[in-house]
Structure 1
């Protein structure tokens, strides 16, 4: 029985302690909410609102002031009182350990405090906006009035610069006066926010007028002076060039200039109405078009100079290249008796002559066009350059072909010299094998030597053909060279292997009596050696020596290399 009583007491104490801890947390939360409520209640909002009294307490300002004061009185008198009641209820629930209800009320209190804080922030923000508007309005309006006075002076002092746009510009500037008066009335009546809208509107219009005052004189200068001057110069330049027999109809310059003069009147009307959005980019386009026509006229002058310098000389150039090409064609026919040419190469001179005949006809037509003076010199220049480039290409092609013909004899002599060198190399390889006193030559080596001799024979046969096919000769020569060099390399390797095998067997003989495995390996090496299987013999002898002294293999190889070097 006592045991159960103790358990109950312990449980009760645990519940009591837990309840006290939870109540303490809730009391802390209530303290925090109470503090936030007091901050709202004692916030000096009315001192902030007092700043409005420095303004004209009329109209919109008075309405805003009353609205802010009433909203804050509602917070202090109604919302704060409600918060006090809710805080009292929450404290009672906490004291009676009704924590769930206390939590619910705490959340409602938090929400109400947030609403009060939002009202405070809105009032301060709107207040700052009103006061800031008054200050900004005052400063910016002074700047606008100063700009207004400056703009009027500029127009009065430079009326001629604005031409037909003067009347519209004056009207836009005079439109500022009623706006100034409207601003003063709104400010006097305390409607600062409405007055702010007037200021922003005037700022936008002032920027527009500033842009107009800057752009209109420049655009008018282009339309009334620069472009007409350029039109006059282009007409004079066209007339003078046509008097000098230049063909300029393809430029359609007269029609363009006539249309441009009509368009200038339209652009001038647009400027008078201050519609500059399309005028400025169009004037830039016109200036670019005029510059392009200047370039085209200059191009015709340069083209005529080029045609005058090169056209007459072109006939002798074509004739000279045709003469050289015919000589090369004759030379090719003679060379073909001794050397075989590929069909593509043999066709080069004939194709060149046919192409030159076509170019000659093109040149004749070009000469007629030059004499008739009914074609643009730029077109004639382009045609002349194309003919020149084609002639130069044919001349280079023929020269290259001629050099190839001359090199055929050189290539033949070189091939014969190379053949003699390969013969000597094969003979030296054969003598090297005989002097080596090896037991015998493997059948594979005999086959490779016979193959090399056959390839030399093939080269000799190809050199005896008439006409000589130098391309085939060089191919056969290359094949023979690769084969003979490979035979020489393998022969040197075989001789070196034989010498190493002999040294390894000599080294291993000292251990045959004491090491049966070495003896057996050496027997296998000797048997392979007598059968001319030198690669197998080298492997067996190396394995035998490796059982005794692995480093001996390297030393023997180095000694053999030195010995071969001395012999060479």
Structure 2
């Protein structure tokens, strides 16, 4: 029983404690909402609305002002007092621990305050929009008025430069003048937002009029003076070239000029309505087309001059190249008696001859076309230039082949000279060996000697062949150079091994009596030396001496170098 009472008391204490903290939290929220309400009431909305009174109060301005003022008064007199009532209700529910009900009423109060915030924002945004519209449009219209005044003066003093288009420009000026008047009427009536829209229209139309008024005189001058003059000059040039025999039908000149004239007429009518839309681009295209036709006619005139001037030169060059090819054919036949030639090489003059004959035939056809009135000289000019390039290439091919023939004799003489040099190298090596008093020569060395002489003999025999095959000669010559090179290298190695083996054996004699292994090693080296295996002798002697005196071999090599210097 006692435990039950204690438990109930503890539970009650817990509930009272929780209730205390929850009530405390609600009281804080009530304070926040109260502060929020007061802050809203103190907003300078009335001062902002007072700015509107500085405008002309009528029309839109008056209507908007009354609406904003009513919204603000409703907020102060109805909505915010309702918030105050809800705050008392929240407090009452909190005191009685009706927290759920207090929460619902709190949400309602917050919703009213948030709605009030949005209303105030809408009012202030509307006021700013109205004031900005008045300020911006007033400034804009003042600047446009200056531009409009200058435009009227320009159209009045330079009326003759606008042709028939001046009537349309005058109508547009009158229309703008009416809109300026309408703008001032709207502002005086307080319709500032509508006036702002009209100011934007005025700006776009004034700028367009200013742009057109600036373009029309120059465009009109081009259409009435410059372009007609270019048309006349172009027609005269065309007639003159046609009379001189130029083939110009492919240009379809009359149809082209008719189309350009019609376009020019259409643009002129468009300017009479003071409409420059696409006219500037259209005039540019007409001028580009005229320039293109001029370029074509000039190219045709240049091409005719080029053909008449260069045809004879090209024909003479072709004749020279054909004569040179005859000489090459004769030279090739003569060279064949001395040197063997590949089938491809022998066929070069004949192949060149075929190409030259084709060019001669094409040139003959071109020569027939030159005096004909149906001839398009730009086409003939391209054909002639192409043939010039082909002739030049064939001339280069002739030069290359002629150098090939001349080089055959040069290669032969060089090969003979190299063979003589290789023979001298072998003889020099032979004398070097003989002067050294070597006990004997190893078989491997004799084999290299014989291989070198055999290679020289093969090369010499190929040089005596008739007709001479230079590919075979060069192949044998390369083998001979390699064989003699190997022989020369082997000779020098042989001499070095003999000399060094003798010195190492002599140096090792100082240890022969003291060390048996030295005596045995030197004995093996001497046996190899007497068998002419000098490399083996050097290896045995060096290994033996190095075993008792490390570094001895390098020491002996330095001694030999010193002796050679002395």
Question: Scaled by the length of structure 2, what TM-score is found?
Answer: 0.81
Pick closer, same or farther for the CA change 1:192–1:337 going to 2, 3 Å: same
Alignment match, 2:384: 384
Asked if residue 203 in structure 1 is aligned to residue 203 in structure 2, the reply is yes
Question: What whole-Å deviation, never above 9, does each CA across 1:107-136 have from its counterpart, x for those lacking one?
Answer: 988777665544444433332221111111
Q: Which residue of the partner structure matches residue 238 of structure 2?
A: 238
Q: Matches of residues 534-545 of structure 1 in structure 2 within 5 Å?
A: 534=535, 541=542, 545=546
1:40 and 2:36 are equivalent in the alignment = no
Task: State which drifts further: 373-382 or 330-339.
Answer: 373-382
Distance verdict in 2 for CA 1:122–1:402, change over 3 Å = same
Q: Please give the alpha-carbon distance, in whole angstroms, between the structure 2 residues aligned to 1:265 and 1:546.
A: 116
> What secondary structure sits across from 1:336 in the alignment?
helix
Hey, what does 2:342 align to over in structure 1?
342
Per-residue displacement from partner, 1:163-190 (whole Å, max 9, x unpaired)?
Answer: 2333322222222133223322321221
Quote how far apart the aligned CAs of 1:274 are.
Answer: 4.7
Q: What is the Cα deviation at residue 269 of structure 1?
A: 2.4
The answer as to 2:212 corresponding to 1:212 is yes
| Structure-1 separation of matches of 2:355 and 2:472 | 31
| Corresponding residue for residue 53 of structure 2 | 53
Once residues 545 and 255 of structure 1 are traced to their aligned partners in structure 2, the CA distance between those partners, rounded to angstroms, is 108
Q: Aligned residue pairs: how many? A: 556
The CA distance in 2 between the partners of 1:65 and 1:430, in whole Å, is: 129
1:20, distance to aligned residue in structure 2 (A): 11
- The correspondence of residues 59-74 of structure 1 with structure 2, limited to 5 A, is 59-74=59-74
C-alpha distance 500-138 of structure 1, shift in aligned 2 (>3 A): farther
SS at match of 1:65: helix
Q: CA 1:244 to 1:523, structure 2 compared with 1: closer, same or farther past 3 Å?
A: same
- Inter-partner Cα distance in structure 1 for 2:516 and 2:37: 111
- Higher mean C-alpha displacement, 395-404 vs 133-142: 395-404
1:220-267 superposed Cα distances (whole Å, 9 cap, x missing partner): 222222221111001111222233333322332233123322222222
Residues 1:523 and 1:154: Cα distance change in structure 2 (over 3 Å): farther
For 2:95 and 2:425, locate their aligned partners in 1 and report how far apart those are by CA, in whole Å.
120
The alpha carbon displacement at 1:540 in A equals: 9.9
Alpha-carbon offset, residue 373 of structure 1 = 3.7
Q: Contact 1:497/1:538 (CA < 8 Å) preserved in 2?
A: no
Measured after TM superposition, the shift of residue 197 of structure 1 is 0.6
Question: Who is 1:186 aligned against?
Answer: 186
Q: Which residues of structure 1 form unaligned runs of 5+?
A: 1-12
Report if the CA contact (8 A) 1:522-1:541 is conserved: no
Q: Report the TM-score, using the length of structure 1 for normalisation.
A: 0.81
1:10 corresponds to? none
Structure 1 residues 335 and 24, CA gap change in structure 2 (3 angstroms): farther
Distance 1:437 1:88, change over 3 A: farther
Q: CA deviation at 1:334?
A: 0.7
Task: Report the Cα distance in structure 2 between the residues aligned to 1:402 and 1:78, rounded to whole angstroms.
Answer: 117
Map 1:88-237; keep pairs closer than 5 Å: 116-237=116-237
Q: CA deviation at 1:513?
A: 8.8
Worse overlay, 335-344 or 67-76: 67-76
Residues 54 and 554 of structure 1: CA distance in aligned 2, closer, same or farther (over 3 Å): farther
Cα distance change on mapping 1:545 and 1:275 into 2, 3 Å? farther
Preserved CA contact (<8 Å) 1:518 1:545: no
Rounded Cα–Cα distance in structure 2 between residues aligned with 1:474 and 1:484: 15
Q: Find the counterpart in structure 1 of residue 354 from structure 2.
A: 354
Cα distance, 1:54 vs. partner?
A: 0.3
Instruction: Report the CA distance between 1:414 and its aligned residue.
Output: 0.7
1:507–1:239 distance in 2 versus 1, CA, 3 Å: same
Cα distance per residue 1:346-378 (max 9 Å; x no partner)? 222222222222222222222221223431222
Listed one character per residue, the Cα deviations across residues 422-480 of structure 1 (whole Å, up to 9, x for unaligned) are 23334444555666677877766665555444433332232122111223322332343
**Partner of residue 400, structure 1:** 400
Contact 1:525 1:541 in 2 (8 A): no
Contact 1:94/1:102 (CA < 8 Å) preserved in 2?
Answer: yes
